[in-house]
Structure 1
Amino acid sequence: MAEKLLYPPPLLSHEEVANDRAAFMDTLRRFHSLMGTKFMIPVIGGKEMDLHALYVEVTSRGGLAKVMEERKWREVMARFSFPATTTSASYVLRRYYLSLLHHYEQVYFFRAHGALLRPAASALTKTPRRKMRGTSDQSPAAAEAGKRMALPERLGGEPCSFSVTGSIDGKFEHGYLVTVKIAAETLRGVLYRVAPPPPAAAPPPPPPPPARGRRRRDPAQPRPNRSAYNFFFKEKHPELKATHPHREREYSRMIGDAWNRLAADDKMVYYRHSAEDKERYKREMQEYNERLKLAPSTMAG
């Protein structure tokens, strides 16, 4: 019996891959390698598709299922300047998201684990074309098949009321991953919590007067955590000063080029340093805030 394919654990948080394009591309390549799936950057109109921008645009709106459900795909497409010769851009963009980013989204955005989750039906179904005048009637079998294919579109666009059975496969910050049965179909998708309407807000207070001068940073406050690239930069900068002492203006570009050429496995060393430094910063900030509570008068200023 073949072994069931499971999701690998995430190497970084969603915030880290969303804010760092290099980290995103490294983890995406490693993800496909662990999953045993083919990975290559699509080329549209002679240009490579910006998969990082596509992932950020979709996840910032709640993920692919929510984008399709709330009909926000046009907003996502507006981020990309497709050439006039590219037809069916919406379909192409969605197809590549499903093949390259859907499972990555489940792990890094929804923090799913265990068995693979199929895309929501609304992401797989294309809007059916209307029947043209003058065409012959469909056979009963073809008509029934058309009803089954159009079911997700009716559910997404028209109010309906019926009972379904299902199970909760996972939980994340904003809702649940579920599997439901509708007639003879088994569907997987996402349920989002509906936030209650906010209470009526009081009128905002008047803005404070502009501060005079630059606010000094408390010297006792912990040093902020550094990114993986910061650790790499700190390591390479002294080497460049020793080997190229008269090219200081080019150090940033040279280090950036070296980072982009660095293999994914070698970069993970710096990502681990960054993760450890992040934990250090959280721990020290917690201690710092506790000291502020105990002695506010001595720590102020």
Structure 2
Amino acid sequence: MAEKLVYPPALLSHEEVAMDRAAFMDTLRRFHSFMGTKFMIPVIGGKELDLHALYVEVTSRGGLAKVMEERKWREVMARFRFSPTTTSASYVLRRYYLSLLHHYEQVYFFRAHGALLPPAASALTKTPRRMVRGRSSDQPAAAAVAPETGKRAALPERLGGEPCSFSVTGSIDGKFEHGYFVTVKIAGETLRGVLYRVVEPPPPPPPPPARSGYNLFFKEKHPELKAIHPHRERDYSKMIGDAWNHLAADDKMVYYRCSAKDKERYKMEMQEYNDRLKLAPSTMAGSAE
């Protein structure tokens, strides 16, 4: 029988990670490494999501479950000032909190230990429903509403592996150009909202490629030549090339070292870039109030 996964001990206090973004990001990466879960910095509306700000905004209000129960999610949303065109921001923000920060919150804010704790029902049932052509998506806290009236669909498993114990009844009340007006009933609560197609922003551009030692030297010398010889632009490449060829080995080594660091930067940024592309959201999303 496989050993049951348990929470790792907190490396710092909640106050320390809330005050220090670098400490927060370091402990969050270590936390996901211990848990064996994939970690990446999400992108919403073409910008990287500030996970530290999200954690601080939610925990300063008592944690995700309390934020949802007291209907303070809009206060959290206001901190990020998403573009009005980012129509799925509320859903995506909650989804990322559940997948990246819920268990971290349990350890660092609530000081939990031992077996994993699934999200509270309020954190799931009040999260906008994400629907993909009548079937549940594989993201946490999503619920499926089939296109036909009255169809039932089981909620996906919660984080931590414990299945939800209730189902969703939904109906389509109307149709518009890009989606549907829907009503769903969850655990005795009736929610009305829309299913709509989200036009996702274009993927972020890839990171700038790594530069060679000569490239770095060229970038440094070009403005100097432009200031000294403003009318000899055609000669800049030759002049910089000659200067590079006559540069002492020790002086060249400075640029080679900078180039090696830039290659490491490029390798890391390309890995994060490829991870973002793999996690691009699907083309159908829903919201509910």
TM interval, short-chain normalised: 0.3 to 0.5
Q: Which has the higher strand share?
A: 2
Relative contact order higher in (CA < 8 Å, ≥ 6 apart): 2
TM-score of the aligned structures, taking structure 2 as reference length:
0.47
From the two aligned structures, give the one with the greater helix fraction. Answer: 1
